[in-house]
Amino acid sequence: MELASIGVKENRIKQFAKRNLTTVEDIQRFFPRKYYDYRQASELLPINANRQTAVVGTLMSVSKKKTNQTLMVKAKVFEPKSEKILNIIWIGHYYLYKIIQFWVKETVIACGELVYNEEYHSFHMKNPVVFDTDIDKNLRIYPVYRKMAGISADYMQNLVELSLGILTDDPLPEDLIRKYHLLPLSEALMAMHHPGSLEDVEKAKKRFIYEQLTSFALRLELDNREISKGTLYNVKSVQNVERYRESLPYELTDSQKKVFAEMKETAYNGMRINALVQGDVGSGKTVVAVLMMLSMADSGYQSVLMAPTVILASQHYETIAAAAESYGYKAAFLSSDLKASERKKLLKGIEAGEYQFIVGTHSVMADDVVYQNLALAVIDEEHKFGVKQRDRIFERSRCGMHKISMSATPIPRTLAETIYGKNTTVYDLELPAARKPVQTAVFNHDQKIYEFIKKKVLDGQQAYVVCPFIEDPDDQFPVETVEDACAKYKAYFEPLGIPVESVTGALKQAEAEKILGRFRDGEIKILVATSIIEVGVNVPNANIIVINNAERFGLAQLHQLRGRVGRGSAQGYCILKSADRENPRLSVLCRTTDGREIAKEDMALRGTGNILGTEQSGRNDEITLLLAYPNMYEYCKKDAVLLADRGMKSWQV
């Protein structure tokens, strides 16, 4: 059901879409990140300090204070059992004074983190999570939702409540719910958002995990049945492919040759290519894709390449358009930023078969894109796409389309076959021999980093500086933003005649593109960015990457970021800026550049917790779930066969 049906306004709908929340069902399943247990009122005792507590007492006084920097509201609450006073302060919630000044002498409840000051034997609470006169209503398990920039917690909670009022169909068949004694959808949703106990939450989670794994297993099962049917899109000619290969400035590696030869053979024989090409960053996956796309064009078909970001897609487009045009073919670029009129024109050309190569973001799979004869889809960094987008590709593949997924996060072959389906051929690409491993070190000294960059830039090289993107405005440990870092770098480098610029996800796509283009052309020497440069950006002259607050990034992400440098023949350097020298993830990174080893360490370090309540998109969650619940998954697979026999489609919630 559309979000508009519960009164969400246009601009909000856009904000939510960016986070993959597009339906009422998505909001219903916007699960709390964690819970605070406020079921019992606590006494003011030192043993209750430093944790989430609920304090019930009499409101003694309320006051307000205005300094030049902040507006403060203060309250004193007398807790009768311990006969102590709780001091509460609110910062930045000045309006509260107007309401709570009338509550003096009433019984109130304050929930939040209790702080004890040993020196003064006093108790404090800053910006309580709950402050109310309704005691019974608030002595409960309190759900904490993920914060999103630009959307207040109150708005989100109200929206979740509204969504819970809508009855939605349970995608799980009744016989399976009964068989495993699972909670039906409506009960499970209530248990996630308004649990009576933490056991309720566990029971509901179990249901959602079973549901997710079964839907996933069903998707694979249907995929499998479909793929074994073969295809009519067989490769008939490769007249330009050899010419293209000869025009490349390098020799293909043995593994690239093998992958291409095998795929060509498969499609020649009328069988379906369903491949996962995995290779560490810089292993040259793109050229393999281009060779296959060219084979399709030579055989008279269209092919599409889809990438997770506009920046990455447009980079692929440049490579592909150049290759296409030298053999008289045409390439189209589709993204959601296109003007309606331009898009219309391109769509018409695609439908008429004027374009053989189509490159873009997920918009290449939009419903209004009609292909004349789409024979191949290449999906770069497939794990970055959500389930819904992958289902779209699957829908399209029903007419025999070949599919190549590319991933720079290598996972073991058996696991790859489990999550991509047993009909998937897994290929591994080796790094071209000429590459030197990137040198990596942990530093925390700005001046030293600046001097190092200065030396390299004066030698003609370029550098990336990456800052973590933090959405939570209440973040406990603030980090340097892109703006802050850019100002610091500008102050140091611009007097030396070294141009510095920044890009963030907040910029308009066209602007970000322009800046990136100037960096690619060498006009900008130092580029400060969020991790939007993480995937696929290819600037061979950029050989230094500084990652600020490196401890805030995941291991796989750090490895991807590091892969942006050391792409040419020069030595690459990765500086992990962090005060946390002992951080295990950073040590792994300094020790090895082998993606396989890093992926293994990553799984070991992250463990298998943190299952639900995070963004439910991308392969990572599926992998995590599969590893965490191997036994349950065995049942899910059997149930999926049953459901497929019944003619049921996979669902996507």
Q: Tell me which residues in 537-556 interact with ligand ADP (CB under 6 A).
A: 538, 540
- When the beta carbons of 48 and 541 are compared against ligand ADP, the nearer one is 541
Of the listed pieces 247-255, 359-367, 484-492, 595-603, which binds ligand ADP according to CB under 6 A? 247-255
Which alpha helices (H) appear in 547-653, and where do they start and end? Answer: 555-562, 584-591, 595-606, 619-628, 630-645
Structure tokens at 319: 């490579």
Buried b / exposed e along 525-536 (16+ C-beta atoms within 10 A): bbbbbbbbbbbb
- Supply the DSSP symbol for 190: H
Is 281 a binding residue for ligand ADP by CB under 6 A? The answer is yes
How many Å apart are CA 178 and CA 170, to the nearest integer? 13
294 scored as a contact of ligand ADP (CB under 6 A): no
Tokens 């009576």 belong to 196
| Pick from 17, 384, 403, 432: nearest CA to 224 | 403
User: Segment contacting Mg ion (CB under 5 A): 41-49, 90-98, 529-537, 584-592?
Assistant: 529-537
Site for ligand ADP contains 430 (CB under 6 A): no
Distances (CA, A) of 467 to 511, 541, 615: 19, 21, 21
**Shortest CA distance to 176 belongs to which of 653, 602, 541, 641?**
641
Please check whether residue 500 is in contact with residue 484, taking contact to mean a CB–CB distance below 8 angstroms: no
With CB under 6 A as the contact rule, the residue among 207, 403, 567, 619 that binds ligand ADP is: 567
Shortest Å, Cβ 506 to ligand ADP: 26
CA torsion, ordered 194, 198, 203, 208, to nearest 10 deg: 60
Q: Any contact of residue 252 with ligand ADP (CB under 6 A)?
A: yes
CB of 139 to ligand ADP, least distance (A): 54
Q: Which of residues 255-274 bind ligand ADP (CB under 6 A)?
A: 256
The entry of ligand ADP, Mg ion, none near residue 572 (CB within 5 to 8 angstroms by kind) is: none
Closest approach, Cβ 591 to ligand ADP, in A, equals 21
595 binds, among Mg ion, ligand ADP, none (CB under 5 to 8 A by kind): none
* Residue 432 binds: one of Mg ion, ligand ADP, none (C-beta under 5 to 8 A by kind): ligand ADP
User: Which of 11/569 has CB closer to ligand ADP?
Assistant: 569
Contact of 290 with 245, CB cutoff 8 Å:
no
- Alpha-carbon span 518 to 506, nearest angstrom: 18
Q: Confirm or reject binding of residue 536 to Mg ion (CB under 5 A).
A: yes
Task: Please choose which of ligand ADP, Mg ion, none residue 250 contacts, taking the beta carbon within 5 to 8 angstroms, the exact cut-off set by kind.
Answer: ligand ADP
- Nearest Cα to Cα of residue 599 among 410, 426, 351, 421: 410
Please classify residue 93 by burial: count the beta carbons closer than 10 Å to its beta carbon, then call 0-12 exposed, 13-18 middle and 19+ buried: middle
Cβ contacts of 95 within 8 Å, gap of 6 or more: none
Of 97-105, 343-351, 390-398, 534-542, the window that binds Mg ion (rule: CB under 5 A) is: 534-542
Q: Regarding beta strands 357-360 and 302-306, do their DSSP bridges make them parallel or antiparallel, or are they unpaired?
A: parallel
Interface residue with ligand ADP among 171, 353, 432, 554 (CB under 6 A) is 432
Query: Which is nearest to 591 in space by CA: 362, 437, 416?
Result: 437
Q: Which residue from 32, 57, 128, 284 is in contact with ligand ADP, where contact means CB under 6 A?
A: 284
| Partner interacting with residue 214 (select from ligand ADP, Mg ion, none; CB below 5-8 Å by kind) | none
- Partner whose footprint covers residue 499, from Mg ion, ligand ADP, none (CB < 5 to 8 Å by kind): none
* Listed ranges 156-164, 246-254, 392-400, 531-539: which one lies at the site for Mg ion (CB under 5 A): 531-539
Size of the site for Mg ion (CB under 5 A): 1
Instruction: Give the separation between CA 452 and CA 446, rounded to whole angstroms.
Output: 10
Least distance between ligand ADP and beta carbon 286 (Å): 3
Q: Does 468 bind ligand ADP (CB under 6 A)?
A: no
Residue 252 contact partner, candidates Mg ion, ligand ADP, none, CB within 5 to 8 A by sort of partner: ligand ADP
Q: Are 350 and 280 in contact (CB under 8 A)?
A: no
Backbone CA torsion sign across 392, 426, 213, 32: negative
Q: Using DSSP, state whether 171 is helix, strand or coil.
A: coil
Tell me which stretch binds ligand ADP (CB under 6 A): 133-141, 201-209, 532-540, 588-596.
532-540
Please identify, among the stretches 284-292, 410-418, 457-465, 571-579, the one whose residues bind ligand ADP according to the rule CB under 6 A.
284-292
Binding stretches for Mg ion (CB under 5 A)? 536
Binding stretches for ligand ADP (CB under 6 A): 250, 252-253, 256, 279, 281-287, 408, 432, 536, 538, 540, 567
